[in-house]
Amino acid sequence: MKTILKNISTLCLLSALVVGFYSCEDKELPPVSAASELKVDSISYKYAKLSWGGETGVYQILISANGEIVKDTVVSALKVAVFLLPETDYTWQVANINAGVKSDFVSGPAFRTVVQNPVNLNVTEITAISAKLSWTGYSTEYYQVVISGGDTTIVKRVLGTVLTADLRPNTTYSWNVTLQLPTYTSATAIGEEFTTSGLYSISDFIGNYSFSYGSVYEDPDLIFDGGIFSIEINPNVENGVILKDFYIEGSEIEAEVDLVNGKLLVPDVTPIELVEDDGDEYLLVTYNLEIDGPIEFILNDDKTLVCASMFGVVAANPNTGALLGYWDKFINATFTPEGVSSGVPARIKASKKSTNSIKPMLNKKVKAISL
């Protein structure tokens, strides 16, 4: 074909030189075969593979979106892969070019690049401080993951479809995922709520304990035996427990357990028992000597519960709730599981304090007590 066209062009040129008036303008060149069997072989969210049938040669491909040509490329093959924008409708045409002669454009089937939004959101490997979040999507693209729990919101930019998130114990979280391409942001996919476990279990606190303590009213080297009491589950309160026979036999104190930080929280200003001394009645209540808040006992690895601050038992007027003075001030207060050595000096058996040892209140605010 190229030889025929070359010969025709040469003849026209020679004729023009020799004769001076011969023109080849109206001579028809051999036709160029158009492309055929145009197909879209595959489509992703950002490219398409197109192919067609025809002679081996050079082809021009025009790709349009919204009525405008967005790609104009030439290939010397019967197929092409082109990068495109996501979530866009495209049309395309192909023309064969041979020896400077172009065939008519032939249109291929229209197509659309479709993005797969994140789906199949899943939570696995939940611990007290982490969880594995996953979803179906693109391993080579970025996603925004938003995790909310308690008073905290975590925003992460993640490459791929898996995130192991650092979290807080004993917290319920909601989460969502959004695909973020340079020119496209997907709809937000919502995952199911999940709750991290506590670092501690309520069973860590349940059992019989011996109560040992020092007193500010005695030699600081003396360790007093406060007797045996028990911590039982309070079925009516979440993470609630009941201290039975604490300090005075027959007493019951409703307390709470912090499973995140491993603490027993004994409420401040809680009645323990009514006692009599020299014909007078006194209401004994727990009292935090440092702050207005619960008395905190910290759980150790050996299962002992050691008071983190000084506390006391306060005598109060049972009719008015007015605090009269300290019944006892505890130092180095420790709850030790019965049968387990606490490692403290040998205990000296001591009787409960009488109201004769009540000391004046020291700049401590009087509180109302619910009797």
CA distance readout (Å), 125 to 130, 159, 194, 339: 8, 20, 11, 37
pLDDT, tens digit (0-9, with 9 covering 90-100), for 80-128:
999 999 999 999 999 999 888 999 999 999 999 999 999 999 999 999 8
Give the pLDDT band (50/70/90) at residue 59. Answer: very high
Q: Give whole-number Cα distances, 333 to 102, 121, 138, 224, 244, in Å.
A: 97, 49, 58, 9, 17
The domains located in the chain, with CATH, are 1-30 (no CATH), 31-113 (2.60.40.10), 119-195 (2.60.40.10), 202-357 (2.40.128)
pLDDT for residue 340: 55
Question: Has this prediction a pTM greater than 0.85?
Answer: no
Q: How far apart are CA 31 and CA 59, in angstroms?
A: 15
Mean pLDDT score, 14-21: 39
Grade residue 355 by pLDDT with cuts at 50, 70 and 90. very low
For 305-317, write each residue's pLDDT tens digit. Answer: 999 888 998 888 8
pLDDT at 324: 82
* Cβ(140)–Cβ(210) below 8 Å: no
Residue labelled with tokens 């950002």: 46
Is the pLDDT score of 143 beyond 90?
yes
As a whole number, the mean pLDDT across the chain is 84
Task: State the average pLDDT over residues 30-42.
Answer: 91
Average pLDDT over residues 276-302: 88
Model confidence pLDDT, tens digit, residues 232-280: 999 999 999 999 999 888 889 999 999 888 999 999 888 888 877 777 8
pLDDT (average), residues 10-32? 49
pLDDT band at 292 (very low <50, low <70, confident <90, very high): confident
Sequence-distant (6+) residues with CB within 8 A of 37 are 52, 53
| Type of residue at 51 | S
Inform me whether the pLDDT recorded for 70 exceeds 70: yes
Residues 6+ apart with CB under 8 A from 280: 355
pLDDT above 90 for 148:
yes
